Structure 1
Amino acid sequence: MIAAPSAPVPPRSAVPAPAPLVVGDGRTVRLISLGGELTDGLLTRVAGDIGDAVAAVEKFWGTDWDREIVIIATGSQQEFLAQAGLDPNRQWQDIAAVSVADHVDLAHHRASGQRMVFAPGAAAMSDQSLRIVLTHELFHLAARADTALDAPRWLVEGVADFVARPATPLPPGAAADTALPTDADLDAAGPQRVRGYDRAWWFARFVADSYGVDALRRLYVEACGPGHGDFETAVHRALNTDTAALRARWAQWLTG
């Protein structure tokens, strides 16, 4: 999930000093535990997976992104909302983690105050689920300085899931809805949001399968990057087709 803070975040001095970790080609990872043994254990698992997560993001997106990665594990829902700067009036109970920034300067390709914040419930995730969430949020962190605030969220999330999730067979009934995904699919908590994320992920997989992984990256840049045009224009520039042909091919992909 990608978000911009809507509330002040506590000063960095208010949280414990992180344990240093260096991964990949020299990226520094700061792991900050706020919940005692529970979050200590979560971050131990994160430390074991972060190298593979960095490799997956770099394989798709490249290496031109933040050299420091800050990961905070919170011990309560109140801490989660505060550290991530999230609106407490919205529904966040089914969100395991978010990637946020204090400020984004798209013109100069910079983001400041970037951090990944895990909710307290993340400690109960399976190892596979944790790896997926970690890699998904890391992609958001990597792409932050190249992602417009008004980018189509369904595509932002679908591409993040493409980077993070292993391909699995589509479930029965996947072809019941052949419309393109929409942002509204991600707004309601519960099963509708899960289904919305899945369909966005399937669409990203479809583009990669049908047009190539490089084409999916181009589509992200054209549809979600600074100064992006409408989706129709992005599809034409990235995939050399129009949305009518894209939707027809998408429907065929869903039906196998």
Structure 2
Amino acid sequence: MLAALLAVELIAAALVLAAAPPVADTPLIVGDHRSVVLDNRGGPGGAELLVRVAADIGAAVEAVEAFWGTDWSHRIEVTATGSERQFAALAGGVADGGDVSQWADVAAVAVAERVDPERRSAIGQRIVFAPGAEAMTTPALRIVLTHELFHYAARADTAVDAPRWLTEGVADFVARPGRAPAQAAATRAALPSDADLAAPGPRRAQAYDRAWEFAQFVAARFGTDKLRELYLTACGPAHVDPAVAVPLVLGIDLPGLLAGWQQWPG
């Protein structure tokens, strides 16, 4: 997956979203009676991007509902930004003069002002697109939108310290299921670290692919329902360590599961 398609999900500081202008009141209804609000801060390019988002959001919602169910926010806010600095500020709270280089290959993020998984509450959520997203192909944009929408849907059920290799891998599985592995089995030495997933450039692209392929493998071998159960067990508010969650849900220890993934699809 090209680095430009990747997205890093952060919970933005409350002051970032509190300082943002009001969201434009232009809702459309999709999926299980979900209201989509499109907020353009990117001029003509942002307007064009949001037209494309509006065309794809219904299919993205259907994909997320098919995997995750319908018990999640019925309000979806999507923002198009007009500059890299504006995107970085809304995405992660980068102040004036701060380094925005980490966002150079990020197409979109799903952010929230405040999250309380214990109460299944996520306040001030939105999906924020970088200005460069308007140049993406239609299939690539659909993947990014669906990936971020999964994070949006799962946010209230995802602990802050959940393993990112699983949260990102499952989001990519929902966004691009049923495709052949992108990397040779020999390159899957280990699951990606947080540092791998945060590093701009090819390292991050390869890390996302490894996480995605792991999720694909689990779904192919144990079924999609088991992948969802593994997510909830290893990433939910009362989550346990993956080394405990994997045998609990899948009936195999984590080293054995990783060995199977490293040889898959052989």
What is the match of residue 86 of structure 1? 93
Q: Is the 8 A contact 1:106 1:148 kept in 2?
A: yes
What's the CA shift string for 1:45-100, capped at 9, x where partnerless?
00000000000000000001001000000011121122234344361111000001
Of 58, 70, 75 in structure 2, the residue corresponding to residue 68 of structure 1 is: 75
CA distance in 2: counterparts of 1:13 and 1:101, whole angstroms:
12
CA RMSD of aligned residues (A): 1.7
1:125-164 counterparts in 2 under 5 A?
125-164=136-175
What is the match of residue 123 of structure 1? 134
Of 228, 233, 237 in structure 2, the residue corresponding to residue 222 of structure 1 is: 233
Q: 1:78 to 1:7 in 2, by over 3 A?
A: farther
Q: Is the 8 A contact 2:217 2:264 kept in 1?
A: yes
Runs of 5+ consecutive residues of structure 1 not aligned to the other structure: none
Alignment partner of 1:227: what SS? coil
CA distance in 2: counterparts of 1:165 and 1:70, whole angstroms:
22
CA distance in 1: counterparts of 2:110 and 2:171, whole angstroms:
12
Return the offset for 1:120: 0.4
Of 12, 15, 22 in structure 2, the residue corresponding to residue 8 of structure 1 is: 15
Whether 2:112 is the aligned partner of 1:101: answer: yes
- Number of equivalences: 255
Q: 1:176 to 1:9 in 2, by over 3 A?
A: closer
Q: Is the 8 A contact 1:161 1:201 kept in 2?
A: yes
Q: Is the 8 A contact 2:192 2:207 kept in 1?
A: yes
CA distance in 2: counterparts of 1:187 and 1:74, whole angstroms:
21
CA distance in 2: counterparts of 1:106 and 1:74, whole angstroms:
28
Q: Is the 8 A contact 2:87 2:128 kept in 1?
A: yes
CA distance in 2: counterparts of 1:10 and 1:157, whole angstroms:
23
Return the offset for 1:106: 1.2
Q: 1:182 to 1:127 in 2, by over 3 A?
A: same
Return the offset for 1:241: 1.2
Q: Percent identity?
A: 56
Q: For CA contacts below 8 A with separation 6 or more, give which structure has more relative contact order.
A: 2
1:172-187 counterparts in 2 under 5 A?
173-187=184-198
Return the offset for 1:20: 1.7
Alignment partner of 1:98: what SS? strand
Q: Which moved more, 1:13-22 or 1:230-239?
A: 13-22
TM-score (norm. length: structure 2)? 0.90
Alignment partner of 1:179: what SS? coil
